[in-house]
Amino acid sequence: MSYCLNPHCASPQNPDSDKFCSTCGFRLLLGDRYRAVRPIGRGGFGKTFRAVDEYKPSRPACVIKQFLPLDQSVLSSRRARELFRQEAMRLEQLGTHAQIPALLAHFEQADYQYLVQEFIDGPNLLEAIAQQGVFSDRQVWQLLDDLLPVLEFIHHHQVIHRDIKPQNIIRRTSTQQTQQYVLVDFGAAKSIEGSDLMRTGTSIGSPEFTAPEQTIGKSVYASDLYSLGVTCIYLLTQVRPADLYDTEEGLWIWRRHLPQPLNTVLCDLLDKLLKAPTRLRYQSAIEVRRDLHDRAILQELGIEQEKDDEIESAGDREVLDLGKTALPLERRGWRCVETLRGHQSWVRSVVLHPIGKTLASGSGDRTIKFWDAETGELLRTLAAHDSWVRTIAVSPDGQMLASASNDKTVKLWRWETGELLHTLTGHTDWVRSVSFSPNGRILASTSQDQTVRVWRVATGELLQTLQGHRHWGLAVLFLLQPDRPPLVSSSRDKTVRVWDWQQGNTIALLEGHTDAVNGLAATKDTIASASEDGTVKLWDWESGLRRTLSGHEGAVYSVKFHPTGDRLISCGQDRTLKLWEPNTGELLHTLTGHENWVWSIAWDGTTIASASWDGTVKLWQEN
């Protein structure tokens, strides 16, 4: 696929062999070399696109950034264009660091300016926390130990990033690099001379993560350290920074929101990063790293102490590999630790809260029940719908629950209280599936009326109705990508469709199953589909089928990825749950214990929940 870079093009999708857009005539190849594939982001000064370099035989991935300010009046500003050119110069200088994307090209075409950068494969931290839930203190230690040398590097080059936040930190998927985290988006960065440090300038950055002095245009090196500290407390709590700050007292109250106790020395370090007066804050990245390697932190986290007192440079040190701290999944056994009984009919859907130790289940008895996942205690029951509850979904921040029913409605509830927030009407037949977008602002639903509907969560407003399936819609979800994530749906027509839901277009049609496609799961780029034909198929949504997993006897109803994406679980008519290694197709474990079909599964990384026609929910953990 080739995506037109003309921001005014009404239909930007084109075949990947075309040279010019069939809609507007815009040249599709940038510099006769780089082809945009799809949009992946939008900032204050530009749009970014996933792209390929067609000059090289392997067509490696890259990123195109187009200068396109949200404030269109800036387009005529020489100053704004000069800032974009300066970003290119900074990237040329800083991109030599392994944890900063390299600049590949910078030029102007058709009156628009472009940067072409190295593509970093992996989720940003906003996506990562939505997938896995809160970070542990050990993971935050690694993040700091990994990124502080990067800040030391850019500060040495007299650059302040000024926009450090979860979205601008990518957790690299590739294992060939020692460093796991990459710092991106230097569009807000500022090059300074020593005499400029306290000179008032433009306020820029993301408000919730911005240091106080930066809001009045007085950025200093310690401003980046403050933003990194705010990023860390967000990862530890998954609570918006605005809700972690007491404005009356002028204090951070983030420790009250911790889901579990943390290393106290590390907490004190984070508190010092967050000091409002710059004189009380850490002044340099190397100063933070020295405290980060405090003996008390290392001993409690079980990290081997460095032999040298001198903190080594980022390029020479060895970084903690979290993947080596636990036994591989295939070496572990699994057992049922709890069976939850209380529904008066089959249990069709189950979800685990992304932060707290609670879960919810939806049933043919028309209720939704909330449970304590550690004790099995029933916490609350909602008389939710006028007919069977077909499916439920939890928002990435854990604040809302969506439910869908044979009564043709979708309902939005507050998780903590069970308060009904919205009832969404418009479907003309049973609603079979619902899913929140990665940022939690959009909800998608699919129905036996053969449509997929897209709603605004805050208001319940219907944004889009997608038509294309030739039979009942059975499952729907968003790919885990920022800004405009593609929407994926499956149907009894045996297909999986990938949609640009804002444009209302099908951008990929995945065919290969020989029966209805009941369930879907996804990572950033991979789609898993579960079918009545007894198989699970793994797809790259752009290039097609990658692998077929066979092993169930009968229909497969649901499939889920482990939060890291390196394991997969499926369930079905044969009453079993099966764990797979998706890259090899190896079957690792078969879990048995349900007395009837297993309809739904949830997986938070440590606990698996399964819902069955036998009227129970079972919780499974590793031995």
Tally of CB atoms within 10 A around 357: 15
Instruction: Say if residues 498 and 455 touch (Cβ distance below 8 Å).
Output: no
Cβ neighbors of 485 (< 8 A, separation 6 or more) are 437, 438, 478, 479
C-alpha dihedral sign at 11, 16, 20, 26: positive
Separation of alpha carbons 601 and 265, rounded Å: 38
Q: How far is CA 194 from CA 155, 307, 316, 396, 428, in A?
A: 11, 35, 28, 43, 66
Helix axes 285-292, 264-273, angle to 10 degrees: 170
Helical H runs in 157-215? 212-215
Tokens for 538? Answer: 């793994």
Separation of alpha carbons 359 and 432, rounded Å: 20
Name the β-bridge partners of 350: 361
Cβ neighbors of 446 (< 8 A, separation 6 or more) are 431, 432, 433, 452, 453, 473, 474, 475, 476, 489, 491
303 phi/psi in degrees, rounded to 5 = -100, 135
Strands 617-622 and 607-612: antiparallel
Q: How far is CA 70 from CA 43, 80, 459, in A?
A: 8, 12, 24
Give the CA radius of gyration of the chain.
Answer: 25
From the list 163, 224, 407, 493, the catalytic residue is 163
Closest by CA position to 171, among listed 514, 407, 523: 523
Strand locations in 315-467 (E): 334-340, 347-352, 358-363, 367-372, 378-383, 389-394, 400-405, 410-414, 420-424, 431-436, 442-447, 451-456, 462-467
90 phi/psi in degrees, rounded to 5 = -65, -45
The DSSP secondary structure of 385-404, one letter per residue, reads: -SS-EEEEEE-TTSSEEEEE
Separation of alpha carbons 497 and 509, rounded Å: 5
Note if 163 is an active site residue: yes
User: What DSSP character marks residue 596?
Assistant: S
229 phi/psi in degrees, rounded to 5 = -65, -45
Separation of alpha carbons 129 and 234, rounded Å: 9
Tell me which residues are annotated as active site.
Answer: 163
